Structure 1
């Protein structure tokens, strides 16, 4: 099986503005998670840091790299995301992500 055909997990970390944790969680529940699910992405989970109230993380599962690209494109072009983009800029200071593949144990 080619690597591009393997299931991918995307782990995303965000540093959020001070005092914006509840707002970030609400936005994720009402905008991000529904959009990912609408377009075929699976939200594996979402977390806040036990060490900092300014860290929010979530993980997505994609069937393969091409489905990831398609889902993200649809997500970014959805009117709900476009409408919420200004709010996102007030909440999120920075973000990082990494793509992961499962290993057999």
Structure 2
């Protein structure tokens, strides 16, 4: 199993726009496409950042899912509409991880 930590840095004044886009659209599109979000966080110190993890069977599955997402008609319409007042995301960082063999889930 492969996990991806995605870190979104949001442009000033656009945090509510990204919250709305994820809650109203993006998470539903992920679900429809079989993309599994493990958890989702906002920055405790109220920095304009969102963090979430996704789970994949392989890097190839991750590539297929993100290609399908980027070509999804609903996503492209939502993205364009949500950015009519300007871009929302400044930067997206990805960290790929695997679970440590020595950690016992408790």
Query: TM-score normalised by the shorter chain: which range applies?
Result: 0.7 to 0.9
* Counterpart among 75, 81, 85 of residue 79 in structure 2: 85
* Counterpart among 96, 99, 103 of residue 102 in structure 1: 99
1:3 aligned partner? none
Q: Per-residue CA shift, 1:14-54, capped at 9, x if unaligned?
A: 11122222221111122221122112111111111012331
Root mean square deviation, CA, Å: 1.6
| In the alignment, structure 1 residue 10 sits paired with structure 2 residue 4 | yes
Q: What is the distance in 2 between the residues matched to 1:62 and 1:81?
A: 20
* Offset, 1:67: 1.3
Q: How does 1:14-93 map to 2 (within 5 A)?
A: 14-86=8-80, 87=82, 90-93=87-90
Matched residue SS, 1:18: coil
Matched residue SS, 2:67: helix
